[in-house]
Amino acid sequence: MSIISIENMRYTWPKSESPALDISGLSVGQGETVFLRGASGSGKSTLLGLLAGTLTVQSGTLKVLDTELSSLSPRERDSFRANHIGIVFQQFNLIPFLTVASNLRLAGSFSGEPRRDFREKSENLLQALNLDLGLLQRRADTLSVGQQQRVAIARALINDPELLLADEPTSALDTDTRDTFMRLLMSIRDVSDCTMIFASHDRSLMKYFDTEIELSEFNRVKKGKSSRV
């Protein structure tokens, strides 16, 4: 089963005349870790937005877990995102004024199913990410950037998503922290078999991944105009 399958998909930003993304075909299988490479403005974030269902394609098909996202109602897409997709951003991954535990619980609550093993689950994730359990009661904005990014992974995985999207999650980290982060990110595959799409322009991270997708090779839109990202 392919986790992601894209055919003749085209996306144009509102108020823009030319499309930002035009992909004839792209497919990602289950459990794959994909390095999505592309320069700034190449449409990486747009593609992630489409995969997460916060944007919807205007033509063609984009299926995640065999579900055509554009056929879902907005409400179903939000619920789909909560249950099946975890997202890690470059920064601002956590609600700063909530504790780590509350951040995890909030993400868990959007899945629509209260988890009984929630506490155990979050503790397991923190341990897998080499984080002290004492952090659970700390406010998110009191954590270091490296800690915040690792909690962000835990947050993204709390609902056992099939797909993890990461949008330049290391660009706010220095080299050492970045390497730790990458090792831990890869080690989560021991506890989760999720598929991973990792968008970055940093080629040095490529070595961690099974597959590499150079977006400009798939995107038929010529660069240099309508780059709104």
Partner 1 sequence: MFEVALSSLWSRRGSVLLTVASLTISMVIVIGVEHIRAQAESSFVRTISNVDLLVGARTSQINLLLYSVFRIGNATNNIRWESYEDIATRSEVSWSIPLSLGDSHQGYRVLGTNLQYFEHFRYGDSQELQFSEGQPFSAVLHAVLGSGVANSLGYELGKEIVLSHGIGNTSFVNHENLPFTVSGILAPTGTPVDRTIHVSLQGIEAIHLGWQNGAQVAALGLEPEDPRLEDLQPTQITAMLLGLETPMAVFGLQRAINNYPREPLTAILPAVALGELWQIIGTLEGLLSIISILVLTASLLGLSTMLLSSLRERSRELALYRAIGARPSFILLIIELEALSLTLISVFMSYLLVVAGLALTQSWLSENFALVIEVWPTAPSIWLYIGGAIAASAALSLIPASIAYSRSLGHVLRSA
Which residue ranges make up the site for partner 1 (CB under 8 A)?
Answer: 45, 48-49, 52, 54-55, 74-75, 78-79, 81-83, 87, 89-98, 102, 106-107, 109-111, 155-156, 159, 167-168, 229
User: Smaller CB distance to partner 1: residue 109 or 180?
Assistant: 109
Tokens representing 132 are 């002290």
Q: Is 198 helix (H, G, I), strand (E, B) or coil?
A: strand
Helix (H) or strand (E) holding 165: strand 163-167
Q: Nearer Cβ to partner 1, position 70 or 159? A: 159
Q: Are 76 and 130 in contact (CB under 8 A)?
A: no
Q: Is 171 helix (H, G, I), strand (E, B) or coil?
A: coil
**Closest to 63 in 3D by CA, of 37, 112, 19, 26:** 26
Could you tell me the smallest distance in angstroms from the CB atom of residue 52 to partner 1?
Answer: 6
Smallest separation (angstroms) from partner 1 to the CB of 121: 15
Closer of 46 and 147 to partner 1 (Cβ): 46
- Nearest approach, Cβ of residue 144 and partner 1 (Å): 18
Looking at residue 155, the DSSP 8-state letter turns out to be H
Q: What residues contact 92, with CB distance under 8 A and at least 6 apart?
A: none
Min CB(94)–partner 1 separation in Å: 8
Q: Which is nearer to partner 1, 10 or 29 (CB)?
A: 10
